[in-house]
Structures are given as structure tokens and as C-alpha cells.
Amino acid sequence: MIPIAFTLSLLGIAAASPLVGRQSSDHGPRFPQQSTSKGFYLVVNVTDPSRDFTPSIQNNYINSIHVGAGLALVGAGSAANNPRVFYQNGTASEVHYRQGTVISDGGLPPAPYGVSLPAGEGSGEVSTVHLNGGPGTKGIGLTRVPEPYAFLYPETYAVCNESVAYYRGKHFLILKHIKTTPRPDGTVEHNVPKECAPVRLFPECTELNKLPSGAISSHEFAQESGCYNNVSSIDWKTYIF
């Protein structure tokens, strides 16, 4: 098992999320059908279409942007732009109690690159998501029953169009993590910067890559995850968020 080096204070899903609603019908709530897979892509769903970019980032895939040895930012791009394959890593108990990590293998030989939410970065509410060499931040994963939707927690996330100094100011679509704050009236301030698009990240099933001899990564504790066979085929407008 890949050791987990960091601890994340989890945000309550209900408090942190602009979702989750329920779609009713004569036969009760309706939810998109899930499959299971150890490997998955993360697909962008813009939760406020009025804040989408042009061209749209709806159904973009999460990828990585190299910024140094063993260091990368988490970005978004088309399906042709090298989307990363992720998996949930940890014991069954750790993943069940939201103490696992989310990893993508990279490099030669393949090594673990974990999704990380660095403390003390950004404005306090807004921080940049990283995909650095190592186990990643503990407490990141995909929701499971009784939550009817599978998506990446802890929320909220946003995509921002930002310049990256490593590439001499070239702009990229960068994933951010947003900490929500409570208002006195009991509602929640989502703190998404006006120049960014609030998003939810849905898992799309894919085969987890096989590891060659000599790999640094290990899939011994890669867990089966709830995911969707084709996220772009789901008409999310039929579900209330």
C-alpha cells in the first residue's frame, strides 16, 4: 500500500456543495445509472452554465500540467488532450470513511502522483489543485451510497483561466478548490471567483492501466469506484442540483 502522508479536514458535503437535489417522478427519484471500475477519468460538469467559458468547458477531461520535477497542476482539456486515469487508493475501510487518496500513475517507471490540496495557498478560500509525486492529500475521493451521485469530494471546485509562470505566462485552464463559508442567515457563500466557472467532477469508467515490472506505483489497494460509462451522454438537466 502507498503510505498516506497528509490529513485533510473534510468539508461536509451538504455544506460544501451547490448541489444535491432530487429529481422526482411518478415512480420516485431518478438518478443516472452507475457502473464500477478501478480506473476512471474525471469529467467537468459546469454547475452554473451562465459562467461557462467560450469555448465551453462542459465535458472537458481533467489532465495535468507539468511545472517541475514531480510537480504538476491539475488542468482541464478535451478528451484528446491526455486526460489522466485516476484510482482511489487505500484500504476498503479508509475509502469507506473518506480517508483514502486519489492517484494517477505517471512517469517511467510509473510512480504515484496524488491529487493534493496544499494548505496555506491562495486567498484562504481559493487554492490551486496539484498532482504531485507522492500519495496525495488524505480525504479526497468519490462519493458513494447513500449519495445518489458519484462525484469528487471535498467540494467545491472551479476552473479558472490563468497564466502559468513556468510557461512564461501562457494561459491554461486550472482546477481550483474552493472553501465555502457560512452566512449569518444559514445559507452558504461559495466563494467562486467571478472569472472562474464552478464545476463538479464526475467519474467516467475506464480500465486501470497495468503496471510493468519495476513500477514504483502499486495497485494492491486500488478500490472499485462508482462511475459512469459515458458522462457526456447524461442529460444532467433532467436532474435537479
Question: Is-contact 87 102, C-beta < 8 A?
Answer: yes
What is the predicted pLDDT for the residue at 4?
Answer: 42
Statement: residue 143 has pLDDT above 90 = yes
CA distance 127 to 157: 10
- What pTM, to 2 d.p., does this model score? 0.86
pLDDT confidence tier of residue 124, bands split at 50, 70 and 90: confident
What is the predicted pLDDT for the residue at 26?
Answer: 53
Which SS3 state, helix, strand or coil, does residue 211 take?
coil
Bridge partner residues of 101 (DSSP)? 89
CA distance 173 to 191: 18
What is the predicted pLDDT for the residue at 16?
Answer: 40
Statement: residue 30 has pLDDT above 90 = no
166-215 per-position pLDDT tens digit: 999 999 999 999 998 999 998 988 899 999 999 999 999 999 999 999 99
Question: What sign has the CA pseudo-torsion 187, 19, 160, 111?
Answer: positive
Q: Which amino acid is at 231?
A: V
DSSP annotation of 207: P
What is the predicted pLDDT for the residue at 122?
Answer: 57
49-66 per-position pLDDT tens digit: 999 999 999 999 999 999
Question: Is-contact 191 143, C-beta < 8 A?
Answer: no
CA distance 233 to 205: 13
Question: Is-contact 75 172, C-beta < 8 A?
Answer: yes
